[in-house]
């Protein structure tokens, strides 16, 4: 496969990979669709800074002008932030068409995993993963993130699944796909804005070294597939479960009433929940991403030492 035909690896990222130094992948949908400008650019640059402070090289991933990019410049991040939702949200089904047409694409968890793996990056920090949507037994609305975790060998460090989803069914789907779900310092699945969900993870681990060792063993055995690490939002930024659930229930009702579906669902729900919580959920979102970036950098560093 001639990856150079489609893939551009940032020189700093390429050098770190060649030298066996830690690199952490980051998605770009959070920049274009996750929050408004200029907060999105500020957050993205802060995430990169946190990764550097913890001993790793950041590689924000995107599609620009039909090129798969592993590692963006500050100018490219600014471009994404300003263009915002005018950029297509790219899942696995969109990659080939966007490249063929020379268009831009904001990478989701799925496409960030794909491009990171192409570039040789195996640790990825994000906010929360997609999953099985509420009512999926009727709509069949299941995020491609779960399928990707089933076969692309990248560790995804997140704050759990977004609480707008059906968390029980999301865990069932991951089990079917053979994806280990690990709680960092917890036995309970965190639910993005909150630290509790009432659902158990598969394993609890308490250090970056333990996470790295488990992922190294999985890769050494060539089992395929990813590993999902769920890292609870820091206590001081967590939102009360009742508050967030009430906002989510209202947002879902409005979403259904307006006939919104497919890839527009999650951006609508997250934006509406932010409005309903007076912006508290956006502040929480930013802090949990910072927290995940720190753990990802520490885990990538531990992995490189094995």
89 a catalytic residue? no
Those residues whose C-beta lies under 8 Å from the C-beta of residue 305, and which sit 6 or more positions away, are 212
Taken in order 293, 294, 299, 305, the sign of the CA dihedral is positive
Our measurement of the distance from residue 210's CA atom to the centroid of its chain's CA atoms, rounded to an integer in Å, reads 21
Cα distance between residue 254 and residue 252, in whole Å = 5
64 neighbors 104 (Cβ within 8 angstroms): yes
Measured CA to CA in angstroms, residue 250 lies from 78, 123, 187, 247, 277 at distances of 33, 35, 29, 5, 11
Catalytic residue, from 89, 162, 263, 294: name it.
162
Catalytic residue, from 27, 48, 78, 148: name it.
27
162 a catalytic residue? yes
Peptide bond into 38 cis (omega under 30): yes
Q: Which helix (H) or strand (E) holds 220?
A: helix 208-220
Active site residues: 27, 162
């Amino acid at each position: 496969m001639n990856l150079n035909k489609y893939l551009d690896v940032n020189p700093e990222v390429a050098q770190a990979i060649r030298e066996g130094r830690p690199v952490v992948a980051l998605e770009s949908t959070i920049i274009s669709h996750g929050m408004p400008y200029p907060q999105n650019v500020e957050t993205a640059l802060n995430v990169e800074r946190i990764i550097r402070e913890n001993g790793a090289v950041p590689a924000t991933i995107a599609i620009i002008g039909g090129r798969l990019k592993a590692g963006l410049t500050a100018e490219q991040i600014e471009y994404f932030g300003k263009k915002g939702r005018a950029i297509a949200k790219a899942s696995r089904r969109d990659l080939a068409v966007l490249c063929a047409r020379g268009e831009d694409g904001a990478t989701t968890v799925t496409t960030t995993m794909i491009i990171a793996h192409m570039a040789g990056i195996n640790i990825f920090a994000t906010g929360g993963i997609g999953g099985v949507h509420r009512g999926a037994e009727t709509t069949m609305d299941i995020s491609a993130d779960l399928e990707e975790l089933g076969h692309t060998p990248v560790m995804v460090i997140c704050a759990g699944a977004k609480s707008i989803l059906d968390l029980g069914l999301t865990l069932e789907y991951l089990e079917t796909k053979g994806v280990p779900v690990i709680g960092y310092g917890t036995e309970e699945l965190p639910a993005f804005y909150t630290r509790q969900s009432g659902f158990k993870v598969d394993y609890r681990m308490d250090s970056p070294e333990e996470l790295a060792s488990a992922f190294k063993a999985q890769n050494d055995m060539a089992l395929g597939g990813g590993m999902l690490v769920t890292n609870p939002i820091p206590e001081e930024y967590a939102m009360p479960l009742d508050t967030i659930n009430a906002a989510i229930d209202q947002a879902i009702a409005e979403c259904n009433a307006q006939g919104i579906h497919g890839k527009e669902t999650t951006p609508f729900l997250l934006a509406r929940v932010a409005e309903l919580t007076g912006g508290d959920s956006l502040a929480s979102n930013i802090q949990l991403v910072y927290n995940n970036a720190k753990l990802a950098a520490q885990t990538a560093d531990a992995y490189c030492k094995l």
